[in-house]
Structure 1
């Protein structure tokens, strides 16, 4: 096992709630955290048992104590921070969306290749037992040819996560860059197919400011003919989440599965009746870090690569364009 020493670029909520414990569960440790605010960084380090805090990106990435970095700052900062880390020879796990433009996201992937470091995108949902079981069932032909998919991923954004997601377009706020990007990655993973175009509408339910959409619905067209419907939101306090795939000879019905927690269920429905798929639940981020460490050792790839991050971003950007133009919009998957 590669027992990685991690540098946190960003004193974030997701690192506190999920990533630090995932590092430790895999034998690693967060050894330094960087925050632009010195007091926040020091307080964060003390609270989470991190040895050191700094306000200097250069100091963090050039530290001999750091093997890999986890970037969880606001989206407009990712590119520069990743470039600094890659140039210093650090492996990089970056939050989604990778950047605000495809040009920047592609440059980030190219930079990690140039320096020979592993790059992963923190798309957690493909690590869920529900989605892995659905992918395998489709590969085994248990529903025949997939025809339609449906994702409902509308939630309530709690107050402590609102902030920039609702009022800073320059940071990548809005529901499509925050949630639709996850739908895109999960659909690509479960279906093992690539999207070609999308049509969408955004809505404004009173949370999004500065013209940012806080709800969205749309349809993604995939290369083998399947149509996938998505419903995303920040404003629905009582909605449940789900993921369905309907084929010529059966349906897969996932419930309570578009979540950060290791939970949910999948029902396979065919002419033989209903069957609950056996699920091997594991903490999503723990699995993500395990596969990232294995990739560093030359055994496989991160659960979601940098290339995956570019493709999911492309879907979200195309969905935004479609919502604003009212027309079906092509998705550019060039990496």
Structure 2
């Protein structure tokens, strides 16, 4: 065996910290976030943060349980969080994008994991982000069961990070909501969004770059920047309560692709959604974006939720009761259209 080559006695000693990774900061972050995560825990957790993997027991009472999973990020809304030091609610956005997606199949979110990647770990900022993630999990009734913090020097500019989230939910097999029973004369309900949620922010950033002096302009009871950064609404608890009480035929989370592309995803081939644009009032944020960006109506409907963050399809005889129940649960909801029969090669949505 050959001996290692000797080095000068005055050679610099290098450590992981010298290379840009602060193990102590990572450990401090874990200790700071544990209390927030523990507030979200459910009885099914067998082992959570700190192990190599989180353990979660399948809840009892299911005959044929089906697990439903989803993953997403926050997109370029993060760029505005960096620019304006608004890190407290971006974690809610992260949770919402995944739990709302699995919700539309009738699934109750069980647990959530996050991935936080940065070039240099700023413990205070990361703590604010994870506090938001925990708040989102509390709103969704799911457990923040684990995650990963990756400090990767030179991978990200100073002061920036990236986020990804992963949610797992559960639904009884014969209770899966997939839109297959949607038929002619069913009623389309729209539930209000809380702003642009987490979609269309590349266009939003391009528009506001032209009007930087208007960010503090009053807009619908807040400022423009507050309206832009409002966290994504989490619909889990009211909609789970609704589907316990009434049959819901289909649900669509209005994210990337807007109303034009998300509603057709749940419709059978021979049906079309006829949506009345004047059934709800477009929020001031979207009117401002359209005017200042000179954005066409079609582009607005393809990029943004335009004030409708979730769409439901119910039978006509259940529509009034669904509206009453959702309003009692604190949601703003409107009947925004109905389902028509159509040829299989015809457009699946018309917004007029």
Task: Mark the structure with the bigger radius of gyration.
Answer: 2
TM-score, structure 2 as length reference: 0.28
Q: TM-score, normalised by structure 1?
A: 0.29
